[in-house]
Amino acid sequence: MSIPSLLESGVSRKRTALKVHGAALASLSFQCLGIIYSDIGTSPLYVLNGIWPSSGPVPSQEDVIGGVSAIVWSLTLLPLIKYVLISLKFGTTEGEGGSFALYQGLYPPEDKEFDADRTLTGESYIKSTRSTSSRFKQALRGPLLVWCLLGTALTMADGVFTPAVSVTSAVGGIAVARSSVENQIVPISIAFLVVLFLVQQFGTGRLAFVFAPVSFIWFLLLIGTGIYNISTFPGIFRALDPSRAILLFVRTKDFDLLAGVLLAVTGCEAVFANLGQFNAASIRISFCCFVYPGLILAYLGQGARLIVDGENVIQNVFYMSIPGPKNGPLFWIMFAVAIFATYVASQALITATFSLFQQVVNMKSFPSLRMHYTSETIMGQVYIPAVNWTLMIITVIIVAVFSSLANLTNAYGFAVATVMFSTSLLLAVQMVYVKRWSIVVAVAYFLIFGFFDGLFWGAALKKVPHGAWVPLMIGLILMVFMVFWTWSKGLEDAFDGANRQNLRHFIWREDKIPLVKAENGQEIVEEVKQEEEVNEPIYYYVPTQSFSSKDEGLEIEKRELTRIPTMAVFHKFTLGRGVPHTFVGFIRQWPALPQILIFLSVSMLPIARAAPENRYVVVKTRSLEGCYGVTYNMGFREHFDVNVRFSLTFKWVESQGLQSQLDELVESLCNLEMQHDPKNYERTIAKIKAVSSHATHIVPHYHVVSKKINAGYLTFIANWIRKYLIEEIFRRLATMFPETANWMTSADEIIRVGINATI
């Protein structure tokens, strides 16, 4: 396949945001209910009791109106305006959202030059790294990376507390109708949670079609009960006046109420974090047309019932405000749907957590984890087994340890508030440096939304001694680890890139003089046959430093390399011109050249499966016979398996008139040779076929060693800490989580070349 053919076929290497219209957009909007809005949709289960606990006094009428007003305007300012209308404009070009996506928008990764990556020879590999960004923006790079990693880590911590809070609050409804089972709420909640995590393996798409109808019914019930409850006290509509919320805090001086109001907007971070799972249009349609009106009516209705029947409702505002008797059919219908709805709510943050881990793994800020892509059309829908089981274990422990809903909600709000503030800061910076908006707009945005985020964050901060320290601890541990991995992996990749070499700088080719042919025709045939065998080039390994003595007429140190009848595939994990350090180390340890040499890079395309004609892009290296630079293009639903990709299949090659045993890669090599040398390709193809039955895959195994640094008076301590982090922690984890985790499934045909890497 020629180099431009991939572009000519209309396949882009870059993933793009999902674009759908008509029925497909309506279907995607419906699915959003089951994945994104289930979390914020189940908040009515516990919000009013989060503001006024069941153990406290019944609030006055004006306090209830003020509290509901605070909820209504919090939903308007944050989920509606900040996230749905503004934040969704700031996703990456690949359609991803969340804190890390905002950082990637500010400091996008360099475009991968796969064409240059297949260049194994050439005079200059040095690419200018001078940045065109302002010095101030570059100075912000480190602090913003740490800040966005903290926001990402806390969103991941939300993936633990959302299932814990949602499921426990729904199961708590049993105690309203059956007080005898109150002590069984925790084990029942744990049982429901275990089932929830067990079904994650079926994928986001399938779960969305199951969960979306549940969320749809849930919102319909919220709307219906809300309208009925509002009819008991229409005066609750005064809560639509924002001044009522302000007067509540002026009158009571109790800013701790904000910690309860914050629970009404938990889940709004999933709106942005799940952008990669859907698209902006579907998220906006479902929220504006269905979710937002449903939530407003639900809270207004609960407030009306709390005013009218406070003593009886305060024990559990949600379940006690259901119309009809507490053991009536509507009560049990609401209870059953609430259980399923909290399952769906938990799904929102679990799915977002998978998406965030996918981003940090791809950005090399976390070790490689096995990912299963569960959709044929949306690359962002992934299932990560290691993350799923870890979340399940931690969530079960959290529910068992905290034991009460009040303690869980104290821990829950802090992570949400911190993530919201982190998003506001990163959005303001993006407005200036990415969108090129006026700095006045960015400052105004941050002052407005940063003010509200700061209010909530301050209220949540006071809950740290009462349980909020748990998500803070989880978030800080994840953040520190991701910062450490970003730093150490960056050092290793820099070493890999710096040690690439021009193939001609250490492989020396020496051509033999052709034999003199006889006059007799029969002798000519014999001599030609002999010449083909004898006149093979001889290759030598020459250390790079030996070339400096070449011009001085001194003898060059060299080792003859024997051609061995095998096919070797050297994998390149970082892009760049030249051959990887693995090959240099291989030649140095074993002075032999495989008959067929392939330097392979893997490119993940933003499609489910790559067409066979687009799978391989091959370039031949002229200075070394049998050497090829190859890019392997694969879809995100495909798995690179050496036992599959190099298994033999029978194909008929009409131009040869022979039945050949060729796999996809070997076929690409043969087609290239036929185009390159139409007259004499048979001999080369015969060599390729002879060694293609067994391919050896060679990957680097870096034995990292910390280099010495000068830190003044702290040199000894700094070097000891650096050595411990790199040699004791990173070295071990890099061995446990190799970069081949997502595309190599067998170790039987893999040779790992050990290389000392001083980083």
Cα dihedral 644, 650, 656, 658, rounded to 10, equals 140
- Is the predicted pLDDT of residue 229 greater than 80, yes or no? yes
User: Residue 666 and residue 598: Cα distance in Å, rounded?
Assistant: 11
Question: Does residue 114 carry a pLDDT above 60?
Answer: no
Percentage, residues of the chain above pLDDT 70: 78
- Contact status, residue 38 vs residue 215, Cβ threshold 8 Å: yes
Three-state SS for 540?
Answer: strand
Q: How far apart are CA 584 and CA 399, in angstroms?
A: 54
Using one digit for the tens of pLDDT, what is the confidence trace for 486-523? 999 989 888 887 888 888 888 888 876 554 455 554 44
| Reported confidence tier of residue 645, pLDDT bands at 50, 70, 90 | very low
Does residue 644 surpass a pLDDT of 50?
A: no
CATH code of 5-12+25-110+145-487, in short, is 1.20.1740.10
Sign of CA dihedral 566, 570, 576, 579: negative
Residue-wise pLDDT for 247-257, tens only, equals 999 999 888 89
- What is the widest separation between alpha-carbon atoms in the chain? 118
* Confidence at residue 535, expressed as pLDDT on a 0 to 100 scale: 58
CA distances from 339 to 38, 186, 204 (A): 12, 14, 19
Domain(s) of CATH 1.20.1740.10: residues in the chain: 5-12+25-110+145-487
Query: Per the structure block, which two tokens stand in for 464?
Result: 């740290």
305: its two tokens: 């019932």
CB 456 within 8 A of CB 258: yes
Considering only residues 657 and 114, tell me which one the structure prediction assigns the higher pLDDT: 114
Instruction: Give the residue with greater pLDDT, 345 vs 314.
Output: 314
When pLDDT is cut at 50, 70 and 90, the band that residue 312 belongs to is confident
Residue 498 makes CB contacts below 8 A (sequence gap 6+) with none
Residue 680 has pLDDT above 80, yes or no: no
Query: Average of pLDDT values for 558-572?
Result: 86
pLDDT higher for 529 or 25? Answer: 25
Pairing of strands 627-635, 616-620: antiparallel
Element (H, E) at 538: strand 538-541
What is the H or E stretch that residue 750 is in? strand 750-758
Each residue's pLDDT tens digit, 51-65: 998 878 899 999 999
CB 67 within 8 A of CB 52: yes
Q: At CA 157, angle to CA 208 and CA 459, rounded to 5?
A: 110
Burial profile 60-84: b = 16 or more Cβ within 10 angstroms, e = fewer = ebebbbbbbbbbbbbbebbbbebbb
Pairwise pLDDT comparison (379 vs 526), residue with the higher score: 379
Judge whether 623 and 634 are in contact, CB under 8 Å: no
Q: What is residue 133's predicted lDDT score, i.e. its pLDDT?
A: 58
Q: Predicted confidence band at 529 (pLDDT cuts at 50, 70, 90)?
A: very low
Average pLDDT taken over every residue of the chain: 79
What is d(CA 50, CA 711) in angstroms, rounded to the nearest whole number? Answer: 51
Q: Mind spelling out the 3-state secondary structure of 247-286?
A: HHHHHHCCCCHHHHHHHHHCCHHHHHHHHHHCCHHHHHHH
* Each residue's pLDDT tens digit, 582-594: 888 888 888 888 9
Q: What is the pLDDT of residues 351-390, one digit of tens each?
A: 778 877 887 887 788 998 888 776 655 555 778 888 999 9
Q: What is the pLDDT of residue 326?
A: 77
Asked whether residue 284 carries a pLDDT value surpassing 60, the answer given is yes
Give the C-alpha separation, 424 to 448, whole Å.
10
This prediction's pTM: 0.76
346, 195 Cβ separation under 8 angstroms: no
What's the confidence (pLDDT) of residue 656?
A: 38
Query: Are the beta carbons of 125 and 585 closer than 8 angstroms?
Result: no
For 411-468, what is each residue's pLDDT tens digit?
677 777 888 888 898 899 889 988 889 999 999 999 999 999 999 988 888 878 877 7
**SS3 readout for 322-367:** CCCCCCCHHHHHHHHHHHHHHHHHHHHHHHHHHHHHHHHHHCCCCC
Token couple for 603: 């490119």
Pairing of strands 382-383, 372-373: antiparallel
pLDDT of residue 302: 96
Give the separation between CA 601 and CA 618, rounded to whole angstroms: 11
Which residue in 257, 261, 340, 327 sits closest to 299, CA to CA? 261
Give the pLDDT confidence score for residue 210 in this predicted structure.
72
Residue 385 amino acid letter: P
Say how far apart CA 398 and CA 323 lie, in whole Å.
33
pLDDT score at 609: 66
Residue with more model confidence, 403 or 332: 332
Measured between alpha carbons, how far is 392 from 128 in angstroms, rounded to an integer?
Answer: 46
Q: Does pLDDT of 211 surpass 60?
A: yes
Phi, psi angle pair for 127, to nearest 5°: -110, 135
Q: Are 267 and 40 in contact (CB under 8 A)?
A: yes
Cβ distance 395 to 373 under 8 Å? no
Mean pLDDT of 119-143: 62
Mean pLDDT of 654-666: 47
User: Is residue 606 pLDDT above 70, yes or no?
Assistant: no
Beta bridge partner(s), residue 604? 634
Label residues 7-35 b or e (16+ Cβ within 10 Å = b).
eeeebeeebebbebeeeebeebbbbbbbb
3-state DSSP assignment of residue 509: strand
Which has more confidence, 432 or 659? 432
Lowest mean pLDDT among 145-149, 158-162, 527-531, 628-632: 527-531
Q: Is 698 helix (H, G, I), strand (E, B) or coil?
A: strand
Highest mean pLDDT among 41-55, 60-74, 480-494: 60-74
- 238-274 pLDDT, tens digit per residue, is 999 999 999 999 999 888 899 889 989 987 877 887 7
- CA distances (Å), 446 to each of 163, 273, 432, 449, 525, in order? 31, 20, 12, 5, 84
Residue 657, pLDDT score: 34
Question: What is the three-class DSSP state of 634?
Answer: strand
Distance CA(56)–CA(257), nearest Å, equals 13
Residue 604 host element (H or E): strand 592-605
Task: Give the Cα separation of 18 and 92 in Å (integer).
Answer: 12
User: With left for phi above 0 and alpha for psi between -120 and 50, is residue 203 left, alpha or beta?
Assistant: left
652 compared with 452, residue with greater pLDDT: 452
